[in-house]
Amino acid sequence: MTSRERVLAALNHRESDRVPIDFGGHRSSGIAAIAYARLRRALALPHRPIRVYDPVQQLAIIDDDVLDRFGVDTIELGRGFALDDDDWADWVLPDGTACQMPRWALPGREDAQWVIRSASGRAIARMPDGAIYFEQCHWPFLERDDLERIPEAMSECMWCAVQSPPGPLVAGKNGSRVLAEGARRLRARTDRAIVGLFGGNLLEMGQFLYRNDQFLMLLAERPGRAHEFLDRILALHMANLENYLAAVGDSIDIVLFGDDLGMQAGPQISPAMYREFFKPRHAAMWRRAKELADVKVMLHCCGGVRPLLGDLIEAGLDAINPVQVSCVGMAPRELKVDFGGRLTFWGGMEPARLWRGW
């Protein structure tokens, strides 16, 4: 099988010639840039610039020689963009390793920390000395929301404003054409399954703008306001989904949505709350994605979400990543028995367990 055939067989619940391997097909299967530099040295591979495509989480672009070395079957759509040296600027990782950052997201140095500012100049992310990733430091709706200003608020939020490739390279009136051409070029040069990172976050978007505690309180105390907020977010996502898949739908195999619904001990919200606020909206996006393109729908969703899996499947989900096996209810054997015929478990390493082991 080719890599693409292997991944699609697994997503269609058919036996493949071997288990597909994902390394860097999306952010949660990626590798920290500090670790990637060490990996290349351990493998005795030629020196190459370490490029940090995700400044917030300090994730590295995995080069083709490493993908080939491990027989990786996936690749992220962003690898078709920011291919010119001019797209990158020199920077230094927290351990002193030289690297490069996207020029448009280069952090600034202020008071013993690194800071990322929005286009308006507001500090939206900070990484103090001794830390190895950025943390959000501004929530636009923390004090007062304004649902007429959601797009402006998103531009002042770390998780929305700090863009990975293709990022601003596909902005402007010709953005859709540039996006489509880059996607087609990537498709022509690889037989790996291509994952298109869309996002479409719902619960997380509320947490990005209001802050976690405030948005959970909004869901519980002011459900009408929460529905109004989520309706507006859904409308934005649906419009973006139409444009995104019109450009790349014929070049990708999987479209990735995101919503971290779980914690170590179980879901962040009850199944009843998921069904009221999120399931209909997830279903609308996932159904539309499949109408627009021949793609599988994957959700990046951390935590112990077993109580929500039946509803996620009914909403149209094909695959979920990661499978956080240390969380309550996430034992792989039981998940496979109960859901394996209806849902593909796109696994991942268990970082919490690894850290405890160290």
Contact, 3 vs 189, CB < 8 A? no
Residue 91 forms part of a structural domain: no
Residue 247 forms part of a structural domain: yes
Structural domain boundaries enclosing 148: 3-28+75-81+142-357
Residue 328 forms part of a structural domain: yes
3-state secondary structure of 279: helix
Give 10-residue mean pLDDT values along the chain (358 residues): 98 96 95 97 96 97 98 98 97 97 96 96 97 97 97 98 95 94 98 98 98 98 98 98 98 98 96 98 98 98 96 98 93 94 86 51
Would you state the torsion angle of the CA atoms of residues 301, 307, 313, 317, taken in this order, to the nearest 10 degrees?
0
> Alpha-carbon distance 286 to 209, whole Å?
23
Q: What are the respective helix, strand and coil percentages of the chain, to the nearest 5?
A: 45, 15, 40
Model confidence pLDDT, tens digit, residues 40-98: 999 999 999 999 999 999 999 999 999 999 999 999 999 999 999 999 999 999 999 99
**Cis ω before 307 (30° cut-off from 0):** no
Model confidence pLDDT, tens digit, residues 89-132: 999 999 999 999 999 999 999 999 999 999 999 999 999 999 99
Residue 315 forms part of a structural domain: yes
CATH code at position 345: 3.20.20.210
Overall domain count for the chain:
1
Residue 259 forms part of a structural domain: yes
Contact, 2 vs 72, CB < 8 A? no
Q: Which are the contacts of 207, defined by CB distance < 8 A and separation ≥ 6? A: 215, 216
Please state the pTM of the whole predicted model.
0.95
Q: How far lies 200's CA from each of 218, 233, 286, in Å?
A: 20, 9, 10
The pLDDT value given to residue 356: 46
Q: Which are the contacts of 11, defined by CB distance < 8 A and separation ≥ 6? A: 254, 296, 318, 319, 344
Of 181, 188, 190, give the one whose Cα is nearest residue 248: 181
Contact, 172 vs 108, CB < 8 A? no
The DSSP 8-state label assigned to residue 61 in this structure reads: P
Residue 45 forms part of a structural domain: no
Residue 44 in tokens: 């005795």
